[in-house]
Amino acid sequence: MMRPIEYLQQLYLAAMAEGDPCARFVTLITVDADGYPVSRMVTVRQFTADEIAISVNMLSPKIRQLTANDKWELAGFWPQSMTQFRLRGSYSLHCGAAEHSLWRNKPHASQIMDLYAERVRQQSTEVASRAIMQQEVAQLTSQLEQLPQLPVAEHIGLLWLQPQMIELWQQSDADRMHDRRLWCLQNGAWSESTLVP
């Protein structure tokens, strides 16, 4: 019997194959120090039969929030198949040689912005204007182009999310009785519930 995370992975691969523009993007929700949910769009870097990886700056607010209270939720929507999902569970953070090697495959502009966040202004900090940021990025780029190779952004790693709760909603046009299910992992076994849509 297929585990729900494997089923979700198959749906993800199908969305990618169909060219769904939302396939690679999900919303990561964390909880801040005041108890408020904080959401932001992130890019899926890897989706295995057990976990989902997103690239993160280890110094970012989302990682500080996550490590402070261990609460997260991942939500996504694939419009071509009319599928929605929510996930919760455990996580692990990895920032080492393997992650730095993957970082080398990112687009050049993304690498520059990662280095900017590490060397000039941390992610999510305030800047007086976009023009100032553009000027600072241009200055940093000019400095980095003098080097034989871009240095690695040392604080960029992968956040691996291991779902232990999966809620899946799939549209049914025929009768509007959409298929909504909830799976929970307890003691190594998945339980399944059907929910009213």
- Residue 35's pLDDT is 96
- The pair of three-digit structure tokens given for residue 119, joined into one six-digit string: 């060397």
Q: How many CA atoms lie within 13 A of 137 on its CB side?
A: 16
User: What does pTM read for this prediction?
Assistant: 0.89
- Residue 1's pLDDT is 73
- Residue 34's pLDDT is 96
- Residue 28's pLDDT is 98
For 30-45, what is the mean pLDDT?
96
Model pLDDT for residues 82-135, shown as the tens digit of each residue: 999 999 999 999 999 999 988 898 999 999 999 999 999 999 999 999 999 999
pLDDT confidence tier of residue 46, bands split at 50, 70 and 90? very high
Give how far Cα 80 sits from Cα of 22, 74, 172, 189, Å.
Answer: 9, 19, 13, 31
Residues 89, 95, 98, 104: what is their CA dihedral angle, to the nearest 10 degrees? 110
For 150-160, what is the mean pLDDT?
94
- Residue 16's pLDDT is 96
Rg, Å, the chain Cα set: 19
- Residue 68's pLDDT is 96
- Residue 174's pLDDT is 78
Average pLDDT, the chain: 94
- The pair of three-digit structure tokens given for residue 150, joined into one six-digit string: 């871009």
Long-range CB contacts for residues 98-107, cutoff 8 Å, separation at least 24: 99/156, 99/157, 99/158, 100/152, 100/153, 100/154, 100/156, 102/45, 102/55, 102/158, 103/55, 103/152, 103/153, 103/156, 104/152, 106/55
Q: How many CB atoms lie within 10 A of CB 103?
A: 20
160: pLDDT strictly greater than 90: yes
- Residue 176's pLDDT is 79
